Structure 1
Amino acid sequence: MLRRHAPLSPSSKLTDYLLTTRTLQYIVVGLSYFVVVPLVIYTFYYPSFHSDICSWPSASRSPRDLRLLLFGDPQIRGADTSSSLRTRLDIFGNDHYLGHIYSTLLPRLHPSHVIVVGDLFSSQWISDEEFDLRTRRYKNRIFRHPSLDVTPAPVFLNLSGNHDIGYAHDVTDSRVRRFEKHFGQLNFVVTGDDFRIIGFNSMSLDGSLDDDEKGQASFTRDVRNFLDEQMKVNFRGTTILATHVPLHKQRGICIDQPYFTYYDEESEQLIREQNMISEETSQWLLNGFFGEGRAGHGVIINGHDHEGCLVRHTVVKGEPRWNVTAIATGDARYQYDYDNSDSSGVLEVTVRSVMGQFGGNVGLLQGTWNTSAQDYTFSFSLCRFGSQHIWWATYVIAIICACASVIAFIGLPFLDEKARRVFITGTMTPPILNSDIICHRSRHTIPVSPPTSGRQTPVDSFLSGGKTQKMD
């Protein structure tokens, strides 16, 4: 006996289809909303989520105030013809990750100065062509001005690092010339009414004055003569020393330990690598700029130690010698206030690296002018964006969700051919009947025995739309 299923009406089939499609669309939009939106909000407004360390602690807007954004060791890498696609993509993403941090903080904080404390690039051994290429990336991708005009524009200062010009024995005329061509003098001073920022080539500071093999002795003489001149200036304001290599500290104060290697280990003259300025040179700098007869106070800023460190140097009474005590180190979350009028100590800030593997850190150093004391009160905090994976996840997931939404709202209605005919013609093809007696060999033909009389069989009756027809 042939069993017949009741045909579904086109309207009910269309309703079921629309409900299914709309449900999928709602799921896609819901996932996009609850995943992408929080990531985008954090990525572009992360300083608001960390306002205690990503904003200036003082609301003072005196023209004398100092607001310094400090970037440590970006060390941007390069690619060549042998580099894989993954390496090139990673470099591209890293550039824009660093650029995002800068362009997010700049219009929000309106700094008076932006200082990159050395190691702009990852290697001093690169060719001049590669140096020019990385310089364009540095200026156009990373430290570019955002579309929102920032007025007044901050003073932008770049310090030289060992990966830019080399350590003492690796410094050459060609490396110095190409750096100074794009980023300014190795040794410089920026002055204001009540402050001065002194930047210098700390890699050559401990170099040998007898080393003339590559002319390194001239760089050592240059930096020492420059610093001698600045020490002799009768300046009564606040001095901010900006150096790439940190001052000397005993083992255990910071994560980096005192470390020197030499090309000639016996004479200890030709420096190959150093973690800190030598103890003797460090004492000379502290006495020369902050010792007896000087203003006696100021701030020292540097990089090189990627982990970061915050210390205070205090002079030993009656002696031309300074001790150092730790305040914070590593990625500790902190905001530190420093009374600059206290001549018994000098703050040294070693900025944790801005590289993604260290968390995308930016140092915020604010000097608030104290009218009654006629001096600055400083505060420092370390603003952290987070791993570069956050930046990658935001953009990758946003792209995936955007594509999924396009498919859900445009592509999904056309994936089912039957549903497509419903939308175009408004009709529905009847379903093929299942039979316990008849074996279907194809979708369109049903084998039946020839009729023995003029009366139509049940199958013939159904296929003809239910109308009885006379068969000859």
Structure 2
Amino acid sequence: MLHFLARIACLLLFIFIYCEFLIYYFVLLGCSWPQLSKIDQDFTVKPPNNPNKKPLHVMFIADTHLLGSREGHWFDKLRREWQMYRSFQSARFLFEPHIIFFLGDITDEGKWCSDHEWENTVARFHSLFSVPTNTKLYVLAGNHDIGFHYDVSDGRLERFEKSFQAPHVRSITIDDDHIDFILINSMAFEGDQCRLCARAEKELNEIVNDLHRSEISTKPVLLSHFPLYRVSDANCSLWRQSSSSKFVPHKQRHDVLSQEASENLLKKLKPRLVFTAHTHDFCYTEHTDVKGKIIPEWTIPSFSWRNRDDPSLMLLSITTNNERVSHCRLPRESTVFWSYEKELDYKKISLQIKSIRIINKC
């Protein structure tokens, strides 16, 4: 009997280690940094001075939605944060990105919570998504962090900017690589000339002027929480065809940026790539600039299992004139549950224990 119970304990320990630790590595090992193709590079842009220089490696994560005190049960919060912690740290260990961008909705209740709870949530964020000193991490504002445009208060906006050093529009230049990333606060592009929008427009124009004065003629990468305007996800190249909402029309300024704001950003910034979030679903779509050149946009799914059964992240390999993207799957929660259920067949174990007890009595 004791020998049998010891075997059960070992089985429990093994399945726990597999489902809560090892599975993240096993699944992520199926992904890697995309290899650049010399055929696909932009020959109109000056290549890197050092042809042997390795590309910049960038990781994108979206919609972590760290729970607060209102919307989630304590165990739900514990479970989701453990999953994201293990996924993130496993991915960071395996891929060693140079830069990591979080594309908004870091919190689920930032638009409601008190300053004290906000500080605790920010501390949890830095604990869950800690990175070594040689890895740079940047955060965009999402509507759950500060509220939609009509609900943004000066206090919530100020504390987010203070916590993550995130102005309305921010330019990040990787000096060695001459690659520019433009980060925008989606809620500040309503175009209604309020203080929020006026400041964002001013900051955007200053960055555009700096780009024009730059001696390096590379186009920036645009990052936004809201996707650029599209009617729906019906024309997206979907990663999975399981989304039941892909044909639902998008509401401007709520689901996506307005058509006017999107056209303004594309016209002024002329980005080479766009990365967005917010919908919790994956979507690849293309925009066209005034010269007819295609501008790809990737909308990244939520990183939280609370929002979908199959979260994911995205990897970007990029140089001054070349880029390629990989979409990396994380473990399906249904797979984890199935593994527990298969290995821990309680009825079978119970029958075996009863059988052993009967044999011992005999």
> One fold, TM greater than 0.5?
yes
* CA deviations over 1:423-467 (Å, ceiling 9, x no partner): xxxxxxxxxxxxxxxxxxxxxxxxxxxxxxxxxxxxxxxxxxxxx
RMSD, matched Cα? 3.5
Question: Sequence identity of aligned pairs in percent?
Answer: 21
Deviation of 1:77 after TM superposition, in Å, equals 1.2
8 Å Cα contact 1:191/1:197 also seen in 2 = yes
| SS of match in other structure, 2:188 | coil
Whether contact under 8 Å (1:56, 1:364) holds in the other structure is no
Aligned partners of 1:71 and 1:361 also within 8 Å? no
1:376 aligns with 2:326: no
Cα deviation 1:271-329 (Å, max 9, x = unaligned): xx611111111111111122xxxxxx511111111112111112355xxxx7xxxxxxx
Match of 2:273 in 1: 299
- Partners of 1:281 and 1:197 in 2: CA distance: 18
* In structure 1, distance between residues paired with 2:230 and 2:74: 39
Task: State which of 171, 175, 182 in structure 1 corresponds to 2:156.
Answer: 175
User: CA separation in 2, counterparts of 1:62 and 1:386?
Assistant: 38
Distance in 1 between the 2:78 and 2:200 partners?
Answer: 36
1:113 and 2:105 equivalent?
no
Deviation per CA, 1:393-426: give whole Å up to 9, x if none.
77xx89x9xxx9xxx9xxxxxx9xx99xxxxxxx
Query: Structure 1 counterpart of 2:114, which letter?
Result: S
Q: Is the 8 A contact 1:359 1:384 kept in 2?
A: no
Q: Secondary structure at the match of 2:22?
A: helix
Partner residue of 1:352 out of 301, 308, 312: 301
- The answer as to 2:89 corresponding to 1:103 is yes
Per-residue deviation, 1:208: 1.6
The answer to whether structure 1 residue 387 and structure 2 residue 333 are counterparts is yes
2:115 paired with 1:128: yes
Structure 1 residue 189 corresponds to structure 2 residue 171: yes
8 A contact 2:34–2:315 mirrored in 1: no
1:378 positional shift: 2.1
State yes or no: 1:221 paired with 2:198: yes
2: CA distance, partners of 1:62 / 1:176 = 43
Residue 315 of structure 1 is matched in structure 2 by: 289
* 1:253 is aligned to 2:215: no
Q: Which runs of 5+ in 1 are unaligned?
A: 1-19, 210-216, 261-272, 291-296, 323-343, 409-414, 420-472
Q: Which protein has the larger Cα radius of gyration, Structure 1 or Structure 2?
A: 1
- Comparing 249-258 with 126-135, greater Cα deviation is found at 249-258
Contact 2:61 2:314 (8 Å CA) reproduced: no
Residue identity matched to 2:264:
W
Does the CA contact (< 8 Å) of 2:36 and 2:323 recur in 1?
A: no
The unaligned stretches of length 5 or more in structure 2 are 38-50, 237-245
One-letter amino acid matched to 2:283: C
1:59-70 equivalences under 5 Å are 63=53, 65-70=55-60
Q: How does 1:388-407 map to 2 (within 5 A)?
A: 390=336
Alignment CA distance shift 1:47-1:62 (3 Å): farther
- CA shift, 1:25, in A, is 5.0
Q: Structure 1 residue 391: deviation in Å? A: 8.1
Q: Confirm whether residue 230 of structure 1 aligns to residue 211 of structure 2.
A: no
Correspondences of 1:142-221 after superposition (within 5 Å): 142-145=128-131, 150=132, 153-186=134-167, 187-193=169-175, 194-209=178-193, 217-221=194-198
Separation in 1, partners of 2:22, 2:273: 35
Q: Which has the higher contact order (CA 8 A, sep 6+)?
A: 2
Amino acid at match of 2:85: G
3-state DSSP of counterpart to 1:375: coil
Corresponding position of 1:45:
26
Separation in 1 of the partners of 2:174 and 2:18? 43
Amino acid at match of 2:136: V
CA distance in 1, matches of 2:136, 2:338: 30
SS at match of 1:274: coil
What is the deviation of 1:247?
0.5
Supply the AA of the counterpart residue of 1:132: E
Separation in structure 2 between the aligned mates of residue 88 and residue 392 of structure 1, nearest angstrom: 23
Deviation at 1:75, TM superposition (A): 1.0
Q: How many residues align?
A: 318
Contact 1:198–1:240 (Cα < 8 Å) also in 2 = yes
In the aligned structure 2, how far is the partner of 1:88 from the partner of 1:62?
A: 50
Q: Is the 8 A contact 1:43 1:390 kept in 2?
A: no
Q: Which residue of 1 aligns with 2:220?
A: 239
Equivalent position of 1:72 in the other structure: 62
Q: Per-residue CA shift, 1:15-73, capped at 9, x if unaligned?
A: xxxxx654x2575367458745654532443212xx2xx21122999655221111111
State the TM-score, normalized to the length of structure 2.
0.76
In 2: Cα distance, 1:391 partner to 1:105 partner: 22
Q: Which residue of 2 aligns with 1:444?
A: none
